[in-house]
Amino acid sequence: MNRPFADDTLLLLDGGMGTQLQTKGLMPGEVPELWNLTRPDDVCAIHEAYFAAGANVVYANTFGANKAKYHGDASLSEVISSAIGIAKAAKGRADASLPRFVALDVGPTGRLLKPTGDFEFDAAYDAFAEQVSLGAKAGADLVAIETMGDTMELKAAILAAKENCDLPILATVTLGEDGKLLTGADVDCVAALLEGLRVDALGFNCGLGPDRLLPYVRRLAERTSLPIAVKPNAGMPKIVGGKTMFSVGPEEFAVDVARLVDAGASIIGGCCGTTPEHIAVISKLEKRCAPVREKCATCTITSGSRAVEIPLDDTIIIGERINPTGKKKLKAALAEGDTAYVLREAVAQVEAGAHVLDVNVGVPGMDEPAVLDSTVQALQGVVDLPLQIDTSDPKALERAMRHYNSKPLVNSVNGKEESLNSVLPLVAKYGGAIVALTLDENGIPPTAEGRLAIARRILSRGAEYGLTKDDFVVDVLSLAVSADADSANVILDSMRMVREELGCRTCLGVSNISFGLPARPLLNASFYTLAMGVGLSAGIVNPLSEEMMTAFRSYRALTGKDKSCGNWVAWAVEKETQSQSAAASRSVESADLASAIRHGLKEDAAHMAKTAVASGESPLGIIDKFIVPTLEEVGRGFEEKRIFLPQLLMSAEAAGAAFDAVRSAMPVEDGGAKKGPIILATVKGDIHDIGKNICRALLENYGFKVIDLGRDVAPEVVVAAAKRENVRLVGLSALMTTTVGAMEETIRLVHAKLPGCRVVVGGAVLTSDYAAKIGADYYTKDAMELVRLCGALPL
Amino acid sequence: MTVDRAEIARYMRMGRVLPDGALEERVTDILGRAQKVIRPTKVWRRLDMAELGRHFDISGSIARHLDGCHAAYLACGTIGAAFDAFQRCESVTSGVNALIAQAVGAAMIERLMDITGDEIRNELSNGECLISRYSPGYGDFPLAAQRTLLEILDAPRTVGVSLTDMLLMVPSKSVSAIIGVRKDEQTVC
């Protein structure tokens, strides 16, 4: 056996390294990898003991040898080459009757990647790439990526290994007591991601003892056909006298590990607290073959923390709203870099019940690869639904797939050679389920048979890249029934045939069907029901459309997919309760619009403003008589400390809702346009943006247009946006003294490049003196002061 | 985790005024949803003063704070990364929600650190007691000491807490601290 994982016999890994080093005197805070140079004999003795105990694989002492984490005096190159050298020396002395391997041990960087932290994916990738290159050069037999708690970092490490060496990759993650990674991914997420990235073996290490890992190994065995590795701790750590102790002895450990093998694990070892004695005992386990498992026939896509099945016998919703086609506001928001607008569209769809969100940022003239990448990254920091990356630009697709924190749905490949050749390799490399459009160089076939033939061809080309029918979701393309009377029939026939003859899942952009006709929502909903009836797996629809959601819910209730009609009943009851409670609260506190605003009753305020407009009151009159004076009164109350910020924000939100209701009835020239725009951003290096978000909310509710560039924004990005939008005021926030430097730099750059643009700053550590010192034009102590300032400035 | 509403009100900067009406409903809603996403974890380690001195420069305000202590605990707790995403999601839809989520998170991490203190007290020897928490960034105890503190606790691995380049802790609702141990039974612990 020249490579590990070559057959199904049990492969034995070593036990704990860190805890062994500690027993030999490694102190807390000391760099373990330096021992490769200072105490090589001690490191070697540990490897030798594990080989002698029967381990096939030892992990070299390189766990933290990446440039993001390592801070020893010696170079990484020295540390890694000596580590591999020591392990190879131990291997050379080991009994050669067993296959023996040396793994380059790749642990986490110790940094939290974006979106949770501030560390760039590409920086993590670089750190791992260097480590892998050095390890491969030094002669490692495999790469063991372990103790990963973040899917994003795991992906960076795997891509670094795949792109910088051709060694086999074993990737293991660490589960918490709830069976999830630190960043929230569960076993299903991990399995989908790792299968997609095509590692050679996968599993768990550290975190839990072998008994606690059992249910998760069982689950993993259902979700992957790859060999499963487990390296459990010797039980859960206990702190005794300030020291961490592990209590499970070798015999007990072996009993539990045997159960893990029965559950499907074929690569076994130990982590913290395990010793050569633990490994010696598990080496005596019967050398049985691990059961052969079929690749599971599910089509799973994932976010950083959630796995979603695209079903064969049920239907889910892909929210279509993040697509600028025909949406002026979204187009403008994408062009302006107004991330907050896009995020709001996303959150609204999540709340409405979408299962997956489509992300398409195709606006002519825009740098699509950059915008798609940044939009995907912003979305995955806020919503936990998997994304459908929707672009026809392979460059944009690759960049977004690379930085996506899990396994996406890719939209799309089609039957054209160019598309097949550019998209399928990306899916094979990064993992993903993929939408297959039934069109090719000759266009969209007019018949169901023609569309089926293209789907068949795409699937067979996919097979060349190791993709199966379960990796594809076929979109037979919806064409307007107004242009072709037979269109709907052909679509439904095609979907039926794809399902029956190819056994493949389907998706469809439903609303195209009604293009060119009046009363589109009703027609769309009826067609949606028909499509679900022939087995539509995923409808690409607007989840904010009541008609579509009613069609979805009723279809599932009527076809037994909604068990005991539970979802239908819950939805109906909630709807009823909402309308009752709205009516009830209206009668108590919302005597009038002013009162609704004062009490912060958003829905009531919007409802009353709408009613007032409908009853013939002039929109401007409503604003001048009710909304503005009440908002003024509330603002004064805050300034005079009679009410608190949360109450001010509640009222402002209610006023904002009333504004919106009235404004939609007003022509722009009559004051429907907002004042501004004002750019807001949290400065580079600062990832805390609550204060900035509160300012944005209040400004918007007071009728200002805000372009929110988000958090951790580089000075040049602020300047570019301010220049593009011809903005007169930029608001910057910083929370910590450590990030005020970045604020100062941004102010300097704005002043240098845009003489007409002023900068206002705010944040916990700032004062008006401090603000003046760093060159800010204005300082406001809270959101209300900022509103006042914006009101006084000619924007 | 049980969280005192008065504490949430305090972090909402409402003094002792508990929210009522529509605001109270929001607090209840956000608190309930936050409970479902948090993942409280904590870690601590006891060092004697000599060990502490090897890792940290114990001078200035931290030295005064630890005056009379014979040992100290390094402790770190967090309510987890998912809460940050939750908070970001809330702040996308509403400024009030952003503010409430922030206050709820602050009350939760404080509660977690109180619980941590209680658990540490359980392992003290007779006659020992804890003094109040002291964190990097307090007084003239440099923020950069955070790096050492988290390293000794192996915090990225044990509790998933790490530092950004600007020395901010992530997840954001995390606390790290040094807690002195004294033998003075007169001290209110």
Interface of A with B in 516-575 (CB under 8 A): none
Give the CA-trace dihedral at A711, A716, A717, A719, to 10 degrees.
110
- What are the C-alpha distances in Å from B92 to residues A208, A295, A360, A693, B102? 36, 40, 20, 8, 13
Taking a C-beta distance cutoff of 8 angstroms, is the pair B89, A383 a contact? yes
**Cα A118 from Cα A100, distance rounded (Å):** 40
Nearest to residue A487, comparing CAs of A446, A450, A524, A458? A446
Domains of chain B in start order, with CATH, are 5-182 (3.40.109.40)
Contacts of A116 in chain B (CB under 8 A): 81, 84-85, 170-171
Tokens (6 digits) for B155: 């915090």
How many Cα atoms are found within 13 Å in the side-chain-facing hemisphere of A81?
Answer: 9
Tokens (6 digits) for A169: 């990759």
Number of A to B CB contacts under 8 A, please give it.
Answer: 163
Planar angle of CA B163, B169, B171, nearest 5 degrees: 110
Cα of A463 vs its chain's centroid, Å: 28
N- to C-terminal Cα separation, chain B: 23
Q: For residue A365, what is the DSSP state?
A: T
Contacts of A685 in chain B (CB under 8 A): 164-166
Taking a C-beta distance cutoff of 8 angstroms, is the pair A611, A661 a contact? no
pLDDT, residue A351, reads 92
Q: Which residues contact A429 (CB under 8 A, 6 or more apart)?
A: A162
Strand bridging mode A505-509 / A472-475: parallel
Question: Which runs of E-coded beta strand occur in A234-315?
Answer: 238-240, 243-245, 265-268, 300-302, 307-309
Nearest to residue A704, comparing CAs of A677, A682, A723, A665? A677
* Segments in chain A below pLDDT 50: 1, 587-589
Nearest to B151 among A29, A147, A344 (CB): A29
Per-residue buried b or exposed e for A755-773, using 16+ beta carbons within 10 Å of the residue's own CB: eebbbbbbbeebeeebbee
ipTM computed for the complex: 0.87
Judged by CB atoms closer than 8 Å, whether chains meet at A650 and B23 is answered as: yes
**Cα A255 from Cα A265, distance rounded (Å):** 14
Q: Is A78 helix (H, G, I), strand (E, B) or coil?
A: helix
Helix ranges (H only) for A313-354 are 328-336, 339-352
Which helix (H) or strand (E) segment holds residue B5: the answer is helix B5-11
pLDDT, residue A148, reads 97
Strand bridging mode A265-268 / A243-245: unpaired
pLDDT, residue A566, reads 95
Question: Prior bond to B142 cis, omega within 30?
Answer: no
Nearest to residue B40, comparing CAs of B101, B116, B92? B116
Nearest to B162 among A117, A382, A647 (CB): A117
Judged by CB atoms closer than 8 Å, whether chains meet at A381 and B96 is answered as: no
Taking a C-beta distance cutoff of 8 angstroms, is the pair A29, A70 a contact? no
Helix axes A690-701 and A645-663, enclosed angle (nearest 10): 40
How many Cα atoms are found within 13 Å in the side-chain-facing hemisphere of B62?
Answer: 23
Contacts of A119 in chain B (CB under 8 A): 164
Taking a C-beta distance cutoff of 8 angstroms, is the pair A147, B157 a contact? yes
pLDDT, residue B39, reads 93
Q: State the smallest CA–CA distance between residue A118 and chain B in angstroms.
A: 6
Judged by CB atoms closer than 8 Å, whether chains meet at A184 and B82 is answered as: yes
Q: For residue A289, what is the DSSP state?
A: B
Interface of A with B in 138-167 (CB under 8 A): 147, 149
Residue A442, phi then psi, degrees to nearest 5: -95, 10
Tokens (6 digits) for A683: 């400065």
Q: For residue A232, what is the DSSP state?
A: -
Nearest to residue B84, comparing CAs of A671, A509, A248, A184? A184
Taking a C-beta distance cutoff of 8 angstroms, is the pair A54, A281 a contact? no
Q: Is A184 helix (H, G, I), strand (E, B) or coil?
A: coil
Other Cβ atoms less than 10 A from the Cβ of A243: the count is: 11
**Chain A: residue nearest B73 by CA?**
A242
Nearest to A116 among B19, B84, B89 (CB): B84
Nearest to residue A191, comparing CAs of A294, A300, A316, A310? A300
Please tell me the pTM assigned to this model: 0.90
pLDDT, residue A587, reads 46
Which helix (H) or strand (E) segment holds residue B94: the answer is none
Nearest to residue B76, comparing CAs of B1, B128, B147, B181? B147
pLDDT, residue B24, reads 92
**Cα A441 from Cα A443, distance rounded (Å):** 6
Tokens (6 digits) for A113: 């990647």
Q: Which amino acid is at B25?
A: E
Q: What is the DSSP string of B21-56?
A: HHHHHHHHHHHHHHHHH---EEEEEEEEHHHHHHHS
pLDDT, residue A133, reads 98
pLDDT, residue A406, reads 94
Nearest to B148 among A29, A698, A738 (CB): A29
Domains of chain A in start order, with CATH, are 11-282 (3.20.20.330), 300-544 (3.20.20.20), 589-664 (1.10.1240.10), 674-792 (3.40.50.280)
Contacts of B93 in chain A (CB under 8 A): 344, 347
Tokens (6 digits) for A389: 């990356």
* Segments in chain B below pLDDT 50: none
Nearest to residue A728, comparing CAs of A762, A704, A695? A704
* Residue position matching structure tokens 């049985």: A288
Tokens (6 digits) for A104: 């380059």
